[in-house]
Amino acid sequence: MGCIQSITCKARIRRENIVVYDVCATIDQCPTRHRGDLAHRPALQDPLLQSLGPRGHAPHPPPRDLVVGWIQACNQMEFFNTYSDLGMSSWELPDLREGRVKAISDSDGVSYPWYGNTTETVTLVGPTNKISRFSVSMNDNFYPSVTWAVPVSDSNVPLLTRIKRDQSFTTWLVAMNTTTKEKIILQTIKWRMRVDIEVDPLQLLGQRARLVGRTQQEQPRILSRMEPIPPNALVKPNANDAQVLMWRPKRGPPLVVIPPK
């Protein structure tokens, strides 16, 4: 990170009028934690993804207005919660599950196609005779909650026995012409989050959950090549609005518990 303020260090990426001097993508090295001491539901807290960049400048006047920022899409999601031998609930993205799309937007649901519109983007107004130095950053956090009891039952009896989650994302650093919507991909990052927790519902609150999967996550991969952005990563719906909560019993047909928004 030492070249943040230096314009003499070697440029990492050059695309038209944008020079990227530094890109950093990390997942905090703190262990995956679970909070199983709540009266009705255990909350899972996973490490934080921090993607920082670009840090640098545009060496020539931009000929038009550009927005530079982060676009993220979900490529794969498995989120299963097992309830004894009765069945499991699962958060699913039907179009992704059935292979109808390759990715689904992970926008905040407002700032399409961008992940957000605060620290995640910067607008360069051109043309200008000045070099524009800027930095954009984004954070992604997991704070899912899972019910102790079967989600389609009126009972509050704790029957949850396992929680497994495996989700993959692609994140792009992009410069977009605000008029033509032409996009210049500056960087592509891949990352994945996996959680595996066993639960003994017969134990006391605070003693039920045990992490059996990895305690630390794999670090994101900053690709040496630019990967194209699938069309569905740029438009509605985003992953939160598209996901469905299903109940899949061992016996009987599956039920939709929470439909897409």
CB atoms within 10 A of CB 5: 9
Task: Provide the domain count of the chain.
Answer: 1
Whole-angstrom distance, CA of residue 177 vs CA of residue 66: 5
Whole-angstrom distance, CA of residue 181 vs CA of residue 196: 41
What are the percentages of helix, strand and coil residues in the chain, rounded to 5?
A: 5, 45, 50
Instruction: Give percent above pLDDT 70 in the chain.
Output: 80
Whole-angstrom distance, CA of residue 206 vs CA of residue 38: 8
Tokens for 6? 């230096």
Query: Is residue 197 in some structural domain?
Result: yes
Question: Please, what is the average pLDDT of the chain?
Answer: 84
Whole-angstrom distance, CA of residue 189 vs CA of residue 52: 11
Query: Is residue 8 in some structural domain?
Result: no
- What pLDDT is stored for residue 164 in this prediction? 96
Query: Is residue 90 in some structural domain?
Result: yes
Query: Is residue 66 in some structural domain?
Result: yes
Q: Summarize the confidence of residues 132-140 as an average pLDDT.
A: 88
Q: Of 224, 234, 217, which is closest to residue 189 (Cα–Cα)?
A: 224
pLDDT digits (tens, 9 = 90+) for 80-118: 999 999 999 999 999 999 999 999 999 999 999 999 999
Whole-angstrom distance, CA of residue 191 vs CA of residue 106: 13
Query: Is residue 212 in some structural domain?
Result: yes
pLDDT digits (tens, 9 = 90+) for 45-56: 445 555 555 554
Q: Contact at 8 Å (CB) between 149 and 157?
A: yes
- Name the residue range of residue 254's domain: 13-258
Query: Is residue 26 in some structural domain?
Result: yes
Report the helix count and the strand count for the chain, using DSSP H and E: 2, 17
- What pLDDT is stored for residue 129 in this prediction? 74
Query: Is residue 3 in some structural domain?
Result: no
Whole-angstrom distance, CA of residue 145 vs CA of residue 25: 26
Q: What is the pTM of this model?
A: 0.85
Judged against a pLDDT cut of 50, whether residue 261 lies above it is answered with yes
Judged against a pLDDT cut of 80, whether residue 57 lies above it is answered with no
Query: Is residue 7 in some structural domain?
Result: no
Whole-angstrom distance, CA of residue 182 vs CA of residue 165: 35
Longest dimension (CA), the chain: 69
